[in-house]
Amino acid sequence: MFAGRDRQRMRPTSNFELYAWFFMRISGIILLTVAVFHLMYMHIAIGVENIDFETVAGRWESPFWRLFDFFLLTFGLSHGVNGTRQVLDDYAHTRGWRIVARTTIFMIGFIVAVMGAYVIFAFKPPA
């Protein structure tokens, strides 16, 4: 009864979607841990009323906090870009629109990641 459907089903040519699915689960766990720690530290330990330019500049004197913020940026962006790619694949039915959508999302993600990394690592606190 369903034999015709099995023959028409496309076989994947690579494991990219499997790896993307797995990445979403791992990055989601890491992102949840890092983001919750960030919120608890910044909003409870330091306090929202105490967060200003000097607080962030003081934090970024330590390489640990710069690396921590870089990981928060990269995991957040990569998780969001991969999720957006999956949603766009559901709605972009033609190959041309799918290529345009993916290229746009990846370029925006890359540009934001480079700009964020530049700000995090090139920041020099005022003397």
pTM: 0.79
Using the structure block, give the residue that is written with the tokens 């720690």: 37
**Number of residues written out for the chain:** 127
Residues 81-96 as b or e (16 or more Cβ within 10 Å = b): bbebbeebeeeeeeee
DSSP code of 43? I
Looking at the predicted structure, is the pLDDT value of residue 5 above 60?
Answer: no
| Span 23-69, pLDDT tens digits | 999 999 999 999 999 999 999 999 999 999 999 898 999 999 999 99
What domains are there in the chain, each with its CATH number? 25-122 (1.20.1300)
48/51 Cα distance (integer angstroms): 5
Between the alpha carbon of residue 107 and those of residues 72, 73, 124, the distances in Å are 19, 16, 27
121/53 Cα distance (integer angstroms): 16
Lowest mean pLDDT among 1-10, 11-20, 32-41: 1-10
For residues 111 and 77, is the Cβ–Cβ distance under 8 A? no
